[in-house]
Structures are given as C-alpha cells and as structure tokens.
Amino acid sequence: MAVASAAPGSIFWKQLLFSLLVLILFCDACQKISLQVPSHLRAEALVGKVNLKECLQSASLILSSDPDFRILEDGSIYTTHDLVLSSGKSFSILLSDSQGQGQKEIEIILEAGGKKVPKRHMKDAVLRRSKRRWAPIPCSLMENSLGPFPQHVQQVQSDAAQNYTIFYSISGPGVDKEPFNLFFIEKDTGDIFCTRSIDREQYQEFPIYAYATTADGYAPEYPLPLVFKVEDDNDNAPYFENKLTVFTVPENCRTGTSVGKVTAIDLDEPDTLHTRLKYKILQQIPNNPRHFTVHPDTGVITTTTPLLDREKCDTYKLIMEVRDMGGQPFGLFNTGTITISLEDENDNAPYFTETSYTVEVEENRIDVEILRMAVHDHDLPNTPHSRAVYQILQGNENGTFKISTDPNTNEAVLCVVKPLNYEVNRQVVLQIGVLNEAQFAKAVNSKTTTTMCTTVVTVKVKDHDEGPECQPPVKVIQSEDCLPAGTELLGYKAVDPERGTGEGLRYKKIQDEDNWFEINEYTGDLKTVKVLDRESTFVKNNQYNVSVIAFDADGRSCTGTLVVFLEDKNDHPPQIKQEELTICRHDKDYVVLEPTDQDGPDNGPPFQFILDNSASKLWTVETRDGKTAILRGRQDLDYDYYTVPIQIKDRHGASATHILPVRVCDCTIPSECRMPSKLSREAALANVFLGKWAILAMVLGSVLLLCILFTCFCVTVKKTVKKCFPEDVAQQNLIVSNTEGPGEEVMDANIRLPTQTSNVCDTSISVGTLGGQGVKTQQSFEMVKGGYTLDANKGGGHQTLESVKGVTDTGRYTYSDWHNFTQPRLGEESIRGHTLVKN
C-alpha cells in the first residue's frame, strides 16, 4: 500500500510525526540495504526496490522516515520531489502489521555518483515505461514447426538501456521449468529463441518473465510477463470414444426412431476447423435394405424404415467414419463399428402343429395325462413373447379336463381331473386355444389376422366294468328327536352303473360312533337300536353321521355317508350347573343365575324364574336378559348357608325346580369365603335330596318330641315353684304365663321379691330347642339376696335389679323396675330364637 502524498496543514504532519516516533521507538532493525543512485534525482524517480516480505510477511503499514521518499507495497522506492545528493543519504523503511504486534525497520543507504535515473511520471503507479518498447508483444509459436532451430521468437528491450548497461534474462516454463531449455535469450540483445518443435496437445502456451538488470543487479524495469501461445496444427485424427458401441432398438419401430448417439474425440484445439467433426455411415451389414442414417453433425443414429423385423435379422453392424476439417477430403478421419440389436416384440402369434387331435381314455380315470400338443412361435424363445398360455374354449363345462403348459418344452398338457362315464357320454370334443403371456403387438408387415390359434381335440371314452357308484357321496335324512328303538329309516342307496340299479349290491356299516343303528345288508335301510338323542355328545349341529360301504359280487365297492338330521324336541328343562352360589357382601349383594338348556334355540330362552313361597320372603329374583337372573336378599341376611327353591321355565313352559345352595359370606371374592361351620352346609345340601315323605316323617317326629319336652317342663316348673315360694306370697312372685308381659290385673304392689337368705334356691329352666338347626338356648334364673339375676349364655354380663335401679332398698320393687329390667332381655332372646327357627 503506497503512502499517501503529503497534504498541506499541520494536522497531517503531526499525525505523521507521531506514527514515525512510535515506529522508531518500537521497531526492530531487520536489514541494511545500499543503493547506487545518481547525485541528481528527479521527482517521481525510481530509486530502487527492496523485498519487504523478508522482514515482515504481511505489512499493513509502510512508512518512510524521510519525507523525500515514498515506498510502495511491492517495496519500490520513489522520490517525492527533485533531490540533489552531494555525498550520500540514509533513511529507514518502517513496517507494521494490522494488529500492531510486529514492527520492523529496514535501513536504506543511498550512495551518490551513478548514472542519472530517468524521471517517472506520477501516474505511472505500476512501473510502466514512458516508452512502449518494454511491454508484452503478442507472440505465437507454430506447433510441430520444422525449424531451422534455434528459431527466433521475439526480442525484448528496455528504455533503461539509454542510461544503463542492461542485461536480459528469462524464466518460467520452457526455461528453468518443464520443459527445460525450450527457450533461451541473448542477454545483451534481448533476442528470444526456441530450440525445438512443440506439441500443442501437451503445452498450449508458455507464460514466462523477462528481466532487465544492470551489471550491479539494479532492476530499472518491472519483470515483463510474456505469453507464447502455441498455434494448433491438425496433427490428431478424431476417434470414436468407445471402441465397442452397442445400441438396441425395438423391432417394428416407427421411422425416425432414435437408436443412439455416437461421440468422437479430437485432441486438437477446440472450436476450430481442426475439431469440426462430421459423421458418416460407410456400410451397413447386412446392407439391403438400408435401415439407418446418422446426423453428420450430432452423430445421432435414427431409423429410416418401419420394417425392422427381428425374426429376419436380429443384429445390424454399421461401419462409421468421423472426419475433421468439417468433413473435407483433406481432413483427418477414423472409422468405428457400431452394433445395433433389435429388441423382440410379440408380433408373431403361436400356432399348433396339428389342426386336430384324437385321443382315448378309460372311464373313471382321474389325474392322468392324455395328450401333449406342440406349438410354434417365431418370437424370442423363453420370453413372455413366446411362452404359451392354453385355454379350453369349449367342451369342458363340467370341469372334467385341465390344460397346462410344460415350462421346459412349451407344450400343452391335457389331463383328466374328473372321472368320465362311458354310460353317460362316450365322446367329448374340446376346442383349445393358445396365446402368449405378453400382449400381442401386430407389426406393420405382419400377415397374422388373428391373435389366437385354435385346434380341436376329440376324447373318446373307453368302457370299463367299474364297481357300484355312491352318488351323491353324502345323503341327508330327517328324523325326530327321541325316536324310540326299533324304528326303521330309509338308508343309503348305491347304484351299479352297468345296470343302472342297485340290484345285487350289499351294504355294510363302517362308522356309527354311538352304535345307534343296524343296517339291512340287502337294502341298506337303517333300524334304530337306541333312542335318538339330539343332545348327545356325538351329535354335531343336529347331525349324526353314519358311513356305509356298498359292494358288488366281485368285491368292488364305494363309500357313502348318511347324515341323520335330528329335529329338536323340547325334552330338557333348563338346568343350573352352578354347584354353589356365594354372595360376598363386600363386593355385591346379589348372585347371577346362569341356567342352560340342552335343547335348541327354539326350545330354549327366554327363561322364566319363579321363587317358592317360602323363599320369596327372604329373596327376590330379577330376570335380566331372558337368559340370566339376579338373586338378591330382601334384607341384610346373616352370614350363613341358605337353600333357595326356584323354578325355571323355558319359552314353551318346560320347567324344573332347583334347590339352590346359597351362602352369604363376609368376603370380597368367593374364594375368600370361610364359613364357621360345615355342618350347616352339609345339612342344607342334604335337604336338597330329601323326598316329601322323609320331610313329613321329620316334622311329625319333631312335633312328638316337643310335646314330651313341654310336658316335662310343666311338671318341673310346678314342683319348683311350690317348693321355693310360700303360699302367702305366691301371687307376689313371677307367674308362669304364655304372655311376655303381665296382664291388666298385675299391679306394681303385687310384685314382691323376698330378701331372706333362707328362701334362696337355684332354679334352672330349660327353655327348649329353638329352630330346626339344633341350636339350643338356655336361660338360668337365680334368686339371690337383693333380687333376681339373669345369666345368659351369650355373655351379657351379671346384672342385678339393684344395679339397674341404683338404690339400696332390696325389700320391694315396683312393676316399672321389674319391667325395665326384664323387657330388653326377653326381646333379645325372642329375636335370637326367631332367627334360629328361621335358619
């Protein structure tokens, strides 16, 4: 970067002096350079040039310590005005980078006494000469020049030769770089010579530099760049890019269809006449007729006719020429071979080798090959264009025959897949057609008028004495459900095809899972040996199968199946298979009843659920969807086992009464239920199986036992009362009565309790057995001083009338005191006894 010119004003000089002062203080000395200069230097004269990069690689600030000189970025030193040097002069070039981290100083010493330096103009900032002699002169070299060598190329001269003794030199490719010693220069005259011929395809040009220096190394001129361009000589013939070029084109394609594009390469200079190529087809093999042409400039090959037929010729070869110089006769050329293959099209329909075929086959034979038919197809073998697809067009309405293609031979294979019957049809005529897998494409020159070729096959059926026929293989008969044993049913009937009847045939049963039937050997009719039950496990979908074999006198046989379809009868009431029902109070307060009916849907749900009168007091039943019901207690029941009689009817009224064992349990899921006693459950389950006479006997026995116990109780109580209570106070004691409270005649004054210890007696009264579950409740009454005590087995504690009344007077108690003491206890025992009886 050149230093800006000095501007008037004190601000500029102050800034400049400050920068110089900073650089002088902090710069390091780099080198010292001496220059020989004339004693008189004109303004803008080039003093010399130094290499700044040797001191600082990237200098962003270049300053001169002497304002008489300015320094350019390339290290050139110029005067700022005319100078006269009497002896010598020295100054420094100060360098600094953009970060200010590196500062360098180059000391310049000028020694006066040399030739005068010509004046340079201010506008010549790039060191151009004032005259035109030191400038690049256009120059070119001819490729493959024949000499004589060395051959003069150009002369360079410097205007500085007027003032100095100038020596010339050159450097660059062809001098001191590859190719070496191709050029040299006479140092005194500046004449440049070439020593040998040049190949332009190897070296298109030579950029070299020419230098003018004085004897002491002073360079008054910039290096002169010279470019020697090598002029092209048509010394390279064009050649095809690929040695072997193969193109493909469909047969029967239209005229003008592009086949492919050939390309050639010419190493001569591009965009010249030497590389302007022309293409031409020299020969087509086979030559007649001509099917192809090539565009001379682009090399695109196209068809000239739509008559390309692969079946006649599948490959063509083209001998092609490529010539430079625009195809002129004196141009260089080369030839190449282009191969064009035709792609097959399905333009030939297959056809049978015979117009008709005749074949014989025995009746009743199946899965047997009876005929093979060959076809011809001119298209490419083993492709969809030639692989045959055969069809039976007529005569196979029953599906008796099947035709397929042999993948190895492409032949048609005709097979019999269903038996033929000589007695029904002695001859079958089939019409068979053939096509290709690919769709037919009719060519322009094709003579084919139809896409399908057909042939006729006559199949003659040969008679064969076969055995009986079981047709149809499965026969269905209907029967009522619950049909009694000994009933005859129509059996399976086979036919002898030779006679057309079943005469002479014998029958035998080969499958009857539950042995329901016996078969008549001569007629095949069935007779039941068991009652037919539609609900049997051997019946599937109301059907029971019986397999029968029919055979003739020669032992030939056939097998048929007789399906007995059983009509449903409402002979089964709904049943509940749930062995035990559990109501978990912590989960839900009901249980779901899920009855089943072995009869069919017509004799099944919706079901009707009816509770017994005794059960309806404690339970309710709700029909949910006609198939299930919800059983729920009317109130919160105790945790125990219960038996619930319920009647279930189907849609036609067939019903059954079931005694359901239900347990009410303190649980969340049924598996967690643990009842306190298993005896109650066993008794409840045992009741399910008791008959009405057994129940009557148990009731009568219980009544008799109660009568005996009641009699004993009355006698015992009478004796005890007489013994314990005096006659004069008999009416003041507790009166045995059937009522739970005193009558209207009982007053408070009538109730007196003796307090004498001499009248104390222990009395144990057995109340009896309550309920039907064998649970006994015993109350013990004790007369002690101070009043009666009531000791209950349930652990109610020991309370006296004094403790209830809260007084110390034990001589007499009022009726209200007695009533408040006994009434809660009598009510508790009454509820407990009622619950036991109910259970």
| Region at 728 (left for phi over 0; alpha for psi -120 to 50; beta for the rest) | alpha
Q: Which two tokens stand for residue 511?
A: 């499958």
* pLDDT band (50, 70, 90) for residue 819: low
For residues 714-741, average pLDDT: 49
Asked if residue 433 lies in contact with residue 355, where contact means CB atoms within 8 angstroms, the answer is: no
Please tell me whether residue 587 adopts helix, strand or coil conformation: coil
Q: Is residue 538 over pLDDT 60?
A: yes
Least confident of 172-176, 207-211, 745-749, 761-765: 761-765
- More confident of the two residues 233 and 533: 233
Residue 323 and residue 276: Cα distance in Å, rounded? 8
For residues 594-618, average pLDDT: 80
| Region at 327 (left for phi over 0; alpha for psi -120 to 50; beta for the rest) | left
- Could you report the per-residue pLDDT of 31-53, keeping only the tens digit for each? 788 877 787 888 888 888 888 88
Q: Does 651 lie in the same domain as 596? A: yes
For residue 469, give the DSSP letter: B
The per-residue pLDDT for 718 is: 63
Least confident of 114-128, 287-301, 482-496, 711-725: 114-128
The per-residue pLDDT for 769 is: 31
Q: Does 454 lie in the same domain as 365? A: yes
The per-residue pLDDT for 109 is: 86
C-beta neighbour count of 118 within 10 angstroms:
18
Nearest to 95 by CA among 132, 51, 144: 51
For residue 613, give the DSSP letter: H
Q: Does 655 lie in the same domain as 614? A: yes
Residue 261 and residue 284: Cα distance in Å, rounded? 16
Least confident of 30-39, 169-178, 266-275: 30-39
Q: Residue 431: in which H helix or E strand, if any?
A: strand 427-436
Q: Is residue 598 over pLDDT 60?
A: yes
Q: Does 655 lie in the same domain as 610? A: yes
C-beta neighbour count of 326 within 10 angstroms:
14
* pLDDT band (50, 70, 90) for residue 315: very high
Asked if residue 96 lies in contact with residue 102, where contact means CB atoms within 8 angstroms, the answer is: yes
The per-residue pLDDT for 456 is: 94
- More confident of the two residues 196 and 822: 196
Q: Write the CATH number for 526.
A: 2.60.40.60
The per-residue pLDDT for 745 is: 41
Residue type, 818: W
For residues 64-77, average pLDDT: 86
Q: Does 535 lie in the same domain as 600? A: no
Q: Is omega for the bond preceding 384 within 30 degrees of 0, making it cis?
A: no
Domain edge (last residue) among 546, 565, 584: 565
- More confident of the two residues 485 and 757: 485
Note whether residue 20 is domain-resident. no
Asked if residue 529 lies in contact with residue 514, where contact means CB atoms within 8 angstroms, the answer is: no
* pLDDT band (50, 70, 90) for residue 448: low
Note whether residue 23 is domain-resident. no
Domain edge (last residue) among 538, 565, 592: 565
Asked if residue 499 lies in contact with residue 555, where contact means CB atoms within 8 angstroms, the answer is: no
Most distant CA pair in the chain, distance: 186
Least confident of 573-582, 610-619, 715-724, 830-839: 830-839
Mean pLDDT of the chain, nearest integer: 76
Q: Following CA atoms 728, 729, 735, 736 in sequence, which dihedral angle do they give, to the nearest 10 degrees?
A: -60
Question: 37 lies in which domain range?
Answer: 31-110
* pLDDT band (50, 70, 90) for residue 660: confident
* pLDDT band (50, 70, 90) for residue 293: very high
Q: Does 601 lie in the same domain as 635? A: yes
Residue 785 and residue 256: Cα distance in Å, rounded? 144
- Could you report the per-residue pLDDT of 110-132, keeping only the tens digit for each? 877 544 444 333 333 333 333 44
C-beta neighbour count of 165 within 10 angstroms:
12
For residues 79-100, average pLDDT: 79
Q: Does 545 lie in the same domain as 476? A: yes
Domain edge (last residue) among 565, 586, 605: 565
The per-residue pLDDT for 389 is: 94
For residues 627-645, average pLDDT: 83
Note whether residue 782 is domain-resident. no
Who's near 443: CB < 8 A, 6+ residues apart? 251, 252, 309, 345, 347
The per-residue pLDDT for 816 is: 55
Burial class (CB in 10 A: 0-12, 13-18, 19+), 540: exposed
Residue 143 and residue 234: Cα distance in Å, rounded? 9
Q: Is residue 172 over pLDDT 80?
A: yes
The per-residue pLDDT for 136 is: 62
The per-residue pLDDT for 450 is: 60
The per-residue pLDDT for 754 is: 38
Q: Does 336 lie in the same domain as 241? A: yes
Q: Is residue 610 over pLDDT 60?
A: yes
Q: Is residue 687 over pLDDT 50?
A: no
Backbone angles phi, psi at 111, to 5 degrees: -110, 115
Q: What is the DSSP string of 673-727?
A: ---S-SHHHHHHHHHHT--HHHHHHHHHHHHHHHHHHHHHHHHHHHHHHHHHS-G
The per-residue pLDDT for 276 is: 93
Q: Does 595 lie in the same domain as 544? A: no
Note whether residue 602 is domain-resident. yes
* pLDDT band (50, 70, 90) for residue 836: very low
* pLDDT band (50, 70, 90) for residue 675: low
- More confident of the two residues 792 and 580: 580
Rounded to the nearest angstrom, the gap between the alpha carbon of residue 418 and the centroid of all alpha carbons in its chain is 45
Q: Which two tokens stand for residue 695?
A: 């129940």
* pLDDT band (50, 70, 90) for residue 365: confident
Q: Does 244 lie in the same domain as 211? A: no
The per-residue pLDDT for 524 is: 82
Who's near 271: CB < 8 A, 6+ residues apart? none
Q: Is omega for the bond preceding 661 within 30 degrees of 0, making it cis?
A: no
Note whether residue 423 is domain-resident. yes
Residue 142 and residue 145: Cα distance in Å, rounded? 6
Note whether residue 394 is domain-resident. yes
* pLDDT band (50, 70, 90) for residue 479: confident
The per-residue pLDDT for 809 is: 45
Note whether residue 731 is domain-resident. no
- More confident of the two residues 215 and 805: 215
Sheet of 61-64: strand order equals 28-38, 103-114, 88-96, 61-64
Rounded to the nearest angstrom, the gap between the alpha carbon of residue 113 and the centroid of all alpha carbons in its chain is 96
For residues 236-256, average pLDDT: 91
The per-residue pLDDT for 679 is: 40
Count of domains in the chain? 6
Q: Does 223 lie in the same domain as 250? A: no
Rounded to the nearest angstrom, the gap between the alpha carbon of residue 241 and the centroid of all alpha carbons in its chain is 49
Residue 180 and residue 186: Cα distance in Å, rounded? 17
Q: What is the DSSP string of 152-173?
A: EEEE---GGGGTS--EEEEESB
The per-residue pLDDT for 337 is: 93
pTM score: 0.42
Asked if residue 659 lies in contact with residue 609, where contact means CB atoms within 8 angstroms, the answer is: no
Cα–Cα distance list, 470 to 367, 465, 488, 507 (Å): 20, 15, 21, 11
- Could you report the per-residue pLDDT of 751-804, keeping only the tens digit for each? 343 333 333 333 333 333 333 333 333 333 333 333 434 343 333 444 444 444
Q: Is residue 560 over pLDDT 90?
A: no
Q: Calculate what percentage of the chain has a pLDDT beyond 70.
A: 75
The per-residue pLDDT for 292 is: 94
Note whether residue 593 is domain-resident. yes
Q: Is residue 742 over pLDDT 80?
A: no
Q: Does 494 lie in the same domain as 427? A: no
Backbone angles phi, psi at 669, to 5 degrees: -125, 155
Cα–Cα distance list, 523 to 488, 518, 568 (Å): 12, 12, 28
